[in-house]
A = this chain, B = another copy of it.
Amino acid sequence: MHDLETSFGYQIRRLQLEVDRGARQALVSFDMTPARVTALLVISARSGCTQTALGEALSINRASAMKMVNLLEAKQLVLREAAADPRAHALVLTPKGNELLDHLVEVLRKVDDVMLASLTADARQQLVANIRQLAACNGRGVN
């Protein structure tokens, strides 16, 4: 038998499936997904970034990032502005995109609250801190 209880990879995979399910459910009425919200967050944090940079932050390639931008542009949440390099686009949020992002961040924070309800305030804070440190140490994020 395998001790799945102490397996980090297995447990975090289970948890992430649930986190994803909850977030997806909360976003479906907005025709949005966790990945789309993350894209808005990246563009908000790095206003004027290129599509290639967006793709790197989302861990997807240029072609996939372009599809994402096409979708968000069609929803009038993101604009492709002229960049210093005429080959590139400078991605910015529209006022509508900013407004929606503000709202969705609130929505997702409430989903988090439900998810974390079984933890004490202390445990919760420490958990987020640990997760943040691991993500920062091991991957590349918005910052």
Residue pair A10, B59 in contact (C-beta under 8 Å): no
The interface bits of chain A over 79-107 (1 if a CB of B lies within 8 angstroms of the residue's CB, else 0) are: 00000000000000000000001100100
Interface class of chain A by DSSP: helix
Residue pair A9, B13 in contact (C-beta under 8 Å): no
Residue pair B18, A112 in contact (C-beta under 8 Å): no
A17 at the interface (CB under 8 A from B): yes
Whole-angstrom CA separation of A21 from B101 in the bound complex: 27
Per the 8 Å Cβ criterion, residues 94-128 of A in contact with B are 101-102, 105, 108-109, 111-112, 115-119, 123-124, 126-128
A69 at the interface (CB under 8 A from B): no
| Residues of A that sit less than 8 Å from B by CB | 1-2, 4-23, 34, 38, 41, 44-45, 59, 101-102, 105, 108-109, 111-112, 115-119, 123-124, 126-128, 130-135, 137-139, 141-142
